[in-house]
Structure 1
Amino acid sequence: MASSDKKICTLCYDDDGTSTEAVTWCIECKVFLCTDCGKHHKKSRTSNDHKTMSTKDYHELPKFMLEISGHCRDHKKKFELYCSSHACPCCVQCVTHKHQKCQEMQQLLDILKQVKSSASVPLFEKDLKDVKEHFDEIIKYLNSRMDSSNIHKQKATEKIRSMRKSIDDYLDKIEKDLLDDLESKRSKLKLKMNTLLQQLTQRSNEISQLQNEFSKMAQCATELQMYVGLREIEKTTSQAVKYIEDLKSGGQFDENNLKVTVSSELQSILNDVKSFGDININTTPFTLQLKAGRKRSSTVPVSNYS
């Protein structure tokens, strides 16, 4: 039979499949009854003392209460006794099967008498209120901790990014220093090379001029002029050769190449630094002060139906 807010009579449905709207629920039989079946049910000797409730009240009961039966699951008999030792209701057969050694057996009716009007009802109602307040306070506290956690995350993120910026700024600075040094040394090399080239070009031009003058000298000069001129050329070429040898021995022709050596400390970052840092969770004790509840005592029997 489908479960919905509108219940149909169990007896009518089981009898001929009629879907008559139920108005009553029998707690003992665990069946829904329409108006007519409810009247017969109340007149029957076997069920005239059964407790019933309207279907409206039935829907307002908690689910766990709807699952509580007044009959023993093992023996299908009505609960009549209560075992204080095991805190559970019993049928007459339970006594002979499971509770032979139990001394504190009482009539279930005596245990349940005036239970709704007992002092336990407001106490448990207050317990529910207190526990609910505890949950509300804890949830509020944990939500505040969530907000705090978000703030801590934001601060940690800012710290990480600040450190990254500091590292970037520092690397930019030492990179600039190195590039400036590179440019400075290159400029010095360039100046030195340009100066040497100018000197060599000047000497080369002087030799070229002598070459041009030598052919004219050979054609037009007198013997004396030729003799003196050759001596002058010999002197000039000797000086030029010596100049070249001096430059060579002085390392002026050595090849000068720029080479960069990265700092070993900086290089070690790639080898030694494995992470940017560590994220740890620091645990502090729970500090929320909860209102103390009452001391528990067995004010009412707790039924165990398992």
Structure 2
Amino acid sequence: MASSEVFCTLCHEDGSSKDAVTWCTECEVFLCIDCEKHHQKSRMSKNHKTMPRKDYQKLPTFMKEISSQCKDHKKKFELYCTFHACPCCVQCLNDKHQKCQELKPLSDILENIKSSASVQLLEKDMTVVKENFEEMIKYLNSRMNSNNGQKLKAAETIRSFKKSIDEFLNKIEEEILTDLESKHSKLNSEMNTLIQQLEQRANQISQMQGEFTKMTRLATELQMYVGLRETEKTTAQAEKYIEALKNEKSFNEKNLKVTISPSLQSILQDLKSFGYIHINTSKSTLQIKAGRKDQAQSLVQPCPGFEEIKPSITERRARKMDKPEFWQDIKTSAALY
């Protein structure tokens, strides 16, 4: 019910709406001020336990749903069956608990329950469990922080290694570019030297051609004869020089070409990943408190499982149950409720 509107159960049944102030834990009804006075004076209810409405509404929902009356028979619970671990009314004996042993008065089970050792132990158990949860959360948060640090460290390792690779590649790139420059300069130098030699000889032939033209036009026969001999000699030397160059393969084409190291090429061909990320598992260092070994046990000692029960009725009880007055007493007790 909403805390703002809670009406007296008895008045509400009579068609009026009065604010409730009290909850009777045994009648399980809300009472207004007037009804509470009558409730306290009534011989049947004057000893009932009540509680303020506000306190009742503070109870957990599942506790509000717990009734002191049997839902099947609408009678108050009087007994507790340790075999089925449940409260039962007198009429339940005939319906479900005829063969059950160790039926105890419910009042004995509930006596001093709030101050019992079970309550204190359960409070301690809940404290231990809560502390364990808090410790596990703290541990996992610590692990997350540790993993964050590991991630940053791993990323730094990757970048650092890449930087080392870049520096190494830059170094060997510089070396091969230097080698390229050296070999290119050597080729150019050799060809420039040969070009200079050829130009010198070509100029010599050109000069000789000019002189030969003048000789054929102006020289005497003797001068012409001697001139021809010298010209033939110089021309023959030039031809011999050209032939020597051809034999020495001076004009073979020398081309610059780069060959990338097979090891470096294999990086592009064989390398599929920069590396691998592993998640290594090691034993946890989490320390949690141990709970009681018996903490899962009920407040009332449980009976053996159904398959472990061997039904047996003592001779004395069997004789008693065979008597009609035994069942007559049970029926009489049920009728009183």
User: Does the alignment pair 1:271 with 2:269?
Assistant: yes
Separation in 2 of the partners of 1:243 and 1:29?
136
- Paired AA for residue 239 in structure 1: Q
Match of 2:156 in 1: 158
1:183 alignment partner, SS class: helix
Letter in 1 for 2:217: Q
Q: TM-score by structure 2 length?
A: 0.74
For 1:288, the equivalent position in structure 2 comes to 286
Paired with 1:49 and 1:229, the residues of 2 have a C-alpha distance of 161
Are the equivalent residues in 2 in contact too, given 1:24–1:52 (CA < 8 A)? Answer: yes
Residue aligned with 2:171, SS: helix
- Structure 1 residue identity aligned to 2:118: S
Shift of 1:178: 1.3
Partner residue, 1:300: 299
Alpha carbons 1:80, 1:91 under 8 Å: kept: yes
Q: Distance in 1 between matches of 2:269 and 2:72?
A: 73
Identity of aligned residues (%): 63
Distance in 1, matches of 2:90 and 2:36, equals 28
In 1, the alpha carbon distance for the partners of 2:224 and 2:189 equals: 41
DSSP-derived class of the 2:139 partner: helix
Structure 1 pair 175/97, CA: closer, same or farther in 2 (3 Å)? farther
Q: Per-residue deviation at 1:159?
A: 2.1
Q: Given that residues 24 and 50 in structure 2 are in contact (C-alpha distance below 8 angstroms), is that contact kept between their aligned partners in structure 1?
A: yes
Unaligned runs of 5+ in 1: none
43-52 vs 97-106, greater mean Cα deviation: 43-52
Distance (Å, rounded) in 2 between the aligned partners of 1:146 and 1:114: 47
Answer yes or no: is the 8 Å Cα contact 2:82–2:301 preserved in 1.
Answer: no
CA gap 1:196/1:45 in 2 versus in 1, 3 angstroms? farther
Deviation of 1:113 (Å): 2.0
Distance 1:190 1:40, change over 3 A: farther
1:264 CA displacement:
1.0
Contact preservation (8 Å) 1:8, 1:34: no
Q: Tell me whether 1:206 sits opposite 2:204 in the alignment.
A: yes
- Checking the alignment, whether the CA contact within 8 Å between 1:27 and 1:50 is kept in structure 2 is yes
Cross-structure match for 1:169: 167
Deviation of 1:210 after TM superposition, in Å, equals 2.2
Provide the rounded CA distance (Å) in 1 between the counterparts of 2:129 and 2:100: 34
Conservation of the 8 A alpha-carbon contact between 1:88 and 1:302: no
Name the CA distance, whole Å, in 2 between partners of 1:41 and 1:69: 19
Q: Specify the code of the residue in structure 2 equivalent to 1:300.
A: L
1:73 is displaced (CA, Å) by: 5.4
For the structure 1 residues 87 and 242, does the alpha-carbon distance in structure 2 shift closer, same or farther, using more than 3 Å as the test? farther
Task: Supply the distance in 2 between the matched residues of 1:131 and 1:279 (Cα, whole angstroms).
Answer: 36
Q: Which structure has the greater CA radius of gyration?
A: 2
Is the Cα contact below 8 Å between 1:82 and 1:88 reproduced in 2? yes
1:244 is matched by which residue type in structure 2?
I
**Which residue of 2 is the match for residue 55 of structure 1?**
53
Map of 1:24 onto structure 2: 22
Cα deviation, residue 115, structure 1? 0.8
How far residue 57 of structure 1 moved from its aligned partner, in angstroms, is: 1.2
User: Which letter does structure 1 place at the counterpart of 2:113?
Assistant: V
Aligned-pair RMSD on alpha carbons?
A: 3.3
Alignment correspondent of 2:188: 190
Q: How far apart, in 2, do the equivalents of 1:15 and 1:204 lie?
A: 139
Decide which moves more: 249-258 or 139-148: 139-148
Change in 2 beyond 3 A, CA 1:35/1:302: farther
8 A Cα contact 2:8 2:19, kept in partner: no
Change (3 A) 1:248 1:123: same
Give the stretch that moved more between structures: 291-300 or 122-131. 291-300
Match of 2:103 among 100, 105, 117: 105
Residue pairs, 1:234-253, within 5 angstroms: 234-253=232-251
What is the aligned counterpart of 1:123 among 115, 121, 131?
121
Change (3 A) 1:205 1:116: same
Structure 2: stretches of 5+ with no match in the other structure: 303-337
Of residues 230-239 and 123-132 in structure 1, the stretch that sits farther from structure 2 once superposed is 230-239
The residue type equivalent to 2:299 in the other structure is: V
Shift of 1:250: 1.9
Q: Residue type of the partner of 1:187? A: S
What's 2:220 paired with?
Answer: 222
CA distance in 1, matches of 2:209, 2:74: 137
User: Per-residue displacement from partner, 1:215-267 (whole Å, max 9, x unpaired)?
Assistant: 22221122222223233332333322332232223222122211111111111
Could you give the per-residue CA deviations for residues 15-73 of structure 1, whole angstroms, max 9, x where no partner exists? 7695x544334556766554456556777899777654323213432343334333455
* Equivalent residues, number: 300
One-letter amino acid of the structure 1 residue matched with residue 288 of structure 2:
L
TM-score norm. by structure 1 comes to: 0.81
